[in-house]
């Protein structure tokens, strides 16, 4: 959740004509867009600065990667490469060149893969976002029944529920990956070891990310669930004669989901990071693997392209989270 969201949820609904409400809504939208553009620009700039100050001469890396050597290079060799890629220009000029290119929709070329960044991203984005979104969905599918079954139902169930969540949340992702691989792919043979991007190959990677994530979502949901159960409206619903399960699933759960939903925006970002490890365990294509090698080789254009994309996804997901938020939280409903 971005800071603007916090601000906007606090904005009191202005009573008045539909027209002014529509105008306010339009303004809000503009502000959101402006903030999104700012965030994108900010991530680009931060990445650019960090990559520029990162030790390790880029031209040396290019020369060594292309020749499979690890040697120190002479000034003449370095100068030639710098000239070839335009790295002899001042960093500020390179920065504005990059931004200018970006405005024309040009993400640049990866020196490492010798392809346009756009084409690499187009190829690699699908598997990664599939993984991220599917694991978020599966995590929710695991979390909701688990919470309903264990939360607010006495100490023993609660402790078991909470212990399982804590364990799940504390599991190292790639450790889960290796365990699932060992049991379900290597020994039971239910899934392929090297699955690629098909359905059968996606199941284990998705669970690898979903299990720890479900632990987090479960913790957040349970904390809120335990609080909500003690709220006055629960009592009033009960006195209205609502069944216990009805109260739990209709009223309490609705409240309890809010922190988890807020968390989902973060979760997508985290899954994109976790995807790197999972892709490495399962030999799966995706942005993660590309990003690690791009960072290692200071393949600036490629790193920037991926950063822009991930930030973009983050912004979009958080907008979605805001929308879902208003639907779920009865206290916020209607005004936006």
Partner 1 sequence: MNKTRTRLGLVATAAVASIIALAGCSSSGTPATASGTPIKNQTITYVHEQEPPCIWGAWVQEAYLSRQVFDSLVSWDDSGKPVAWLATKWTTSPDGKDITFTLKDGVKFTDGTPFDAAAVVSNVDYWVKNLGWNSFSYLTSATADSADQVTLHLSKANPEIFRELSNGHYGIQSPTALANNSQAQNCQYPVGTGAWTVKKWTQGQDILFARNDSYASAPSNAAHQGPAYEKFLDWKFASDATTRWSALTTGQTDAVYDPPSSQWATAKKDYDVHSFVTGGRQQAFSFNTAQGPFTDVKVRQAFAYAVDRKQIVESVFKGSVPFDGNGSLSPTNPDYLDVNSTYPYDVKKAASLLDAAGWKLNKDGVREKDGKTLEVKLPYGAGPIVSQDGAIALQAVQQEVAKVGFKLDLVPLTQTQLFSGQGQAPDEEDIQFGYWVWPAPNILDIVYNAGTTAAPNGNNTTHFDDPSVQAQIDAAQVEPDATKRKADYQALQKYFNDNAVAVGLYDFTNNVVTSKDLKGFTQDQGSNGLPLFSDAYLVGSK
Partner 2 sequence: MSASAIGTRPTPLRRRRTRAALPVSVIVAGIVALFFVVAAVFPQALAPRSPLSIDLLNTLSGPSASHWLGTDDAGRDLYSRIVWGTRTSLLIGLGAMAVSLVIGIVLGFASALAPNWIAQPVNRFLEVLLAFPVLLLSLLFVALLGPSAPSLIIAVGIGSAPGYARLIRAQALGVRESGYVEAARALGHTSRTIFAQHVFPNAFRPLVALVALGIGQSVVWASGLSFLGLGVAPPSSEWGVLLNAGKSQITTAWWLEVLPGVAIVLVALSFTQLGRYFQDRSEGITR
Question: Which residues contribute to the site for partner 1 (CB under 8 A)?
Answer: 54-57, 60-61, 63-74, 76, 112-116, 119-120, 123-124, 178, 181-183, 185-189, 192-194, 196-197, 279-286, 289-290, 293, 295-298
1 binds partner 2 (CB under 8 A): yes
Segment 252-256 long-range contacts (CB within 8 Å, at least 24 positions apart): 252/152, 252/225, 252/228, 253/144, 253/147, 253/148, 253/225, 254/328, 254/329, 254/330, 255/224, 255/225, 255/227, 255/228, 255/231, 255/329, 256/147, 256/151, 256/221, 256/222, 256/224, 256/225, 256/228
Residue 80 or 158: the one with the smaller Cβ distance to partner 2 is 158
Q: Minimum distance from CB of 180 to partner 1 (Å)? A: 12
216 binds partner 2 (CB under 8 A): yes
166 binds partner 2 (CB under 8 A): yes
| Residue 116: strand pairing partners | 109
- Interface mask toward partner 2 for 178-197; x: CB under 8 A: xx--x---x-----------
* CA distance linking residue 292 with residue 296, whole number of Å: 6
Q: Which residues of 252-291 are buried (b: 16+ CB within 10 A; e: fewer)?
A: bbebbbbbbbbbbbebbbbbbebbbbbbebbebebbbbbb
Residue 39 or 79: the one with the smaller Cβ distance to partner 1 is 79
* CA distance linking residue 128 with residue 1, whole number of Å: 22
245 binds, among partner 2, partner 1, none (CB under 5 to 8 A by kind): none
Q: Minimum distance from CB of 188 to partner 2 (Å)? A: 14
259 binds partner 2 (CB under 8 A): yes
196 binds, among partner 2, partner 1, none (CB under 5 to 8 A by kind): partner 1
Among 16, 26, 101, 172, binds partner 2 (CB under 8 A): 172
Q: Which of 155, 143, 172 is nearest to 253 (CA)?
A: 143
321 binds partner 2 (CB under 8 A): no
Q: Minimum distance from CB of 123 to partner 2 (Å)? A: 19
209 binds partner 2 (CB under 8 A): no
């Amino acid at each position: 959740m971005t800071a603007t969201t916090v601000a906007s949820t606090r904005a009191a609904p202005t009573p008045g004509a539909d027209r002014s409400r529509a105008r306010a809504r339009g303004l809000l939208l503009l502000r959101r867009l402006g903030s999104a553009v700012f965030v994108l620009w900010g991530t680009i700039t931060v990445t650019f600065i960090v990559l520029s100050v990162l030790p390790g001469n880029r031209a040396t890396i290019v020369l060594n990667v292309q020749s499979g050597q690890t040697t120190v290079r002479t000034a003449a060799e370095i100068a030639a490469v710098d000239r070839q890629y335009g790295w002899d220009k001042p960093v500020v000029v390179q920065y504005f060149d990059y931004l200018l290119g970006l405005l024309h929709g040009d993400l640049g070329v990866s020196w490492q893969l010798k392809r346009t960044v756009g084409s690499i991203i187009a190829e690699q984005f699908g598997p990664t976002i599939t993984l991220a979104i599917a694991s978020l969905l599966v995590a929710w599918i695991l979390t909701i029944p688990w919470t309903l079954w264990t939360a607010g139902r006495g100490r023993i169930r609660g402790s078991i529920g909470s212990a399982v969540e804590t364990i799940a949340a504390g599991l190292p992702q790639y450790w889960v990956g290796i365990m699932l691989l060992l049991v379900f792919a290597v020994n039971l043979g239910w899934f392929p070891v090297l699955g690629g991007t098909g359905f059968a190959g996606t199941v284990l990677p998705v669970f690898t990310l979903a299990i720890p994530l479900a632990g987090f979502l479960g913790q957040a949901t349970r904390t809120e669930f335990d609080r909500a159960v003690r709220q006055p409206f629960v009592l009033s619903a009960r006195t209205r004669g609502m069944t216990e399960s009805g109260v739990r699933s209709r009223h309490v759960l609705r409240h309890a989901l809010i922190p988890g939903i807020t968390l989902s925006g973060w979760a997508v970002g985290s899954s994109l990071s976790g995807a790197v490890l999972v892709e490495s365990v399962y030999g799966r294509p995706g942005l993660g693997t590309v990003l690690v090698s791009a960072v290692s080789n200071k393949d600036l254009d490629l790193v920037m392209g991926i950063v822009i994309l991930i930030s973009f996804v983050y912004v979009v997901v958080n907008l979605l989270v805001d929308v879902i938020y208003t639907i779920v939280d009865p206290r916020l409903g209607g005004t936006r």
